Amino acid sequence: MRIYSASQVYRVHVELTTRCNAACPMCPRTRAGGEQNPNLPLTELTLADFQAMFPPAQLQRLKQFLFCGNYGDALVARDTVPICEYLRRENPKLRIKLVTNGSGRDAAFWAALAKLVTTVTFSIDGLYEVNQIYRRRTSWDRIMSSVQAFLAAGGRAEWDYLVFRHNEHQVTEAAALAAQLGFAKFNLKRSQRFLVEGQAVERFPVLKVGGGVAYYLELPSQPDYQNSGFVSLSSLHKRGQSYRDYLHATRISCKAVRDEQVYLSGSGHLFPCCWLGQIYDSWPSVMAAEIRARIAELPDGLAALDLRQHSLAEIIDGPFFQQLVVRGWNPSEPQGRLSACGRMCGEIDTHSRQWESGSGPPSP
Ligand SMILES: C[S@@+](CC[C@H](N)C(=O)[O-])C[C@H]1O[C@@H](n2cnc3c(N)ncnc32)[C@H](O)[C@@H]1O
Ligand code: SF4
Ligand code: SF4
């Protein structure tokens, strides 16, 4: 199995910053919504970084930038609008997408974005104060001001709604509000994050900053709102396979290759995808430790993936992508396997099934 070469990459997923105004409990930027992840460097990419990393000639051949990321929110980054202006100016045909909690910045920011980006996806998981149960520290009024400023300026918006027990009763009302406000799409999203190291957790504890449980998140009660891949993964034992065995044996179909996409982290490091970019674990994690161990095999360590020091082609065509990641897919070499690849791109595809309706029969 092969990974792409640099000339086959057309899309870039970027984390503009590792900072965020919110504290969503299942996001690794905090420890379950409480204290900040102690391993996370707080850092961001500037316009000057972008101009150096993606010179105009490079932008001519790229097709898409997606501003999303693992640990932060583009609305907090200082240079979000200047960076989008630069991209738009240098390649008017680029698709530019941005995913955000929407709770911040002024109307001028959202109106400027509306003129520059193809789509903004607002992550809003409930109506009024219900949204704050997952989107901790956000404000419904600020989100609605952002949405209205963006739509009034002619922007195209989608609404992503993560469904939980506490917000499943509002799905119909939220979909109606999305249509009334002028969202182009309303996407119900079935989280796969109730699976922690292979164990299905029915109740996910949300922690207070000082420690102690504040409350619990629960799976939605309607089976149609549950992730069918999650259901299959959490019942592997019924067919006599452990979660670890599955991760090491499953056939990998790399989504980065399928999507012709790379991931640039807020610290300026290049990975094939956001899942391999998740190296700053909030709690000790086997997946993150394996990726860090692969990086440690490089003579220069993490610096070898730094897009401030190397070109896109040097990194993609170098040993991390071409050897260490590909080795992570080989079922006959268990020591080199990457659990993150088995988890995200194995035969049970919990990621894609987030958007699929119906729990359906368990996967093979
Ligand atoms: C780290 S966020 C970065 C973008 C932005 N800060 C946001 O939250 O929309 C990346 C993606 O993870 C999603 N996400 C957060 N918590 C999730 C969960 N429990 N299950 C599935 N996706 C989740 C976000 O909605 C977003 O689409
Ligand atoms: S808004 Fe996005 S980056 Fe911020 S805490 Fe929530 S999921 Fe994480
Ligand atoms: S997790 Fe592994 S297999 Fe999946 S997209 Fe990333 S590099 Fe490819």
Each residue's pLDDT tens digit, 77-117: 999 999 999 999 999 999 999 999 999 999 999 999 999 99
pTM for this entry: 0.96
Ligand 1 center–CA 300 separation, angstroms: 31
**What is the C-alpha to C-alpha distance for residues 222 and 66, in angstroms, rounded to an integer?**
32
**Which of 13, 20, 120, 132 has most ligand 2 atoms within 8 Å of CB, for mutation?**
20
DSSP string, 71-89: S--GGG-TTHHHHHHHHHH
**Segments of the chain with pLDDT less than 70:** 358-364
Q: How many CB atoms lie within 10 A of CB 213?
A: 12
Q: Is 20 in the pocket of ligand 2 (CB under 6 A)?
A: yes
Strand 261-264 versus strand 270-271 pairing type? antiparallel
Residue 360 has what pLDDT?
A: 39
Residue ID of nearest Cα to ligand 2 atom 6: 24
Q: Is 290 in the pocket of ligand 2 (CB under 6 A)?
A: no
Q: Is 72 in the pocket of ligand 2 (CB under 6 A)?
A: yes
Q: Enumerate residues lining ligand 1, CB below 6 A.
A: 20, 24, 26-27, 68-70, 73, 99-101, 123, 160, 162, 191, 193
Residue ID of nearest Cα to ligand 1 atom 14: 27
56: enclosing H helix or E strand: helix 56-61
Nearest ligand by distance to the CA of 68: 1
Nearest ligand by distance to the CA of 320: 3
Residue 202 has what pLDDT?
A: 83
**What is the C-alpha to C-alpha distance for residues 31 and 37, in angstroms, rounded to an integer?**
6
**What is the C-alpha to C-alpha distance for residues 150 and 227, in angstroms, rounded to an integer?**
31
Ligand 3 center–CA 328 separation, angstroms: 9
Residue 230 has what pLDDT?
A: 75
Ligand 1 center–CA 191 separation, angstroms: 9
Ligand 3 center–CA 36 separation, angstroms: 27
Residue 113 has what pLDDT?
A: 98
Ligand 1 center–CA 57 separation, angstroms: 32
Secondary structure (3-state) at 97: strand
Residue 109 has what pLDDT?
A: 98
User: Which ranges constitute the DSSP H helices of 200-284?
Assistant: 228-233, 243-249, 255-259
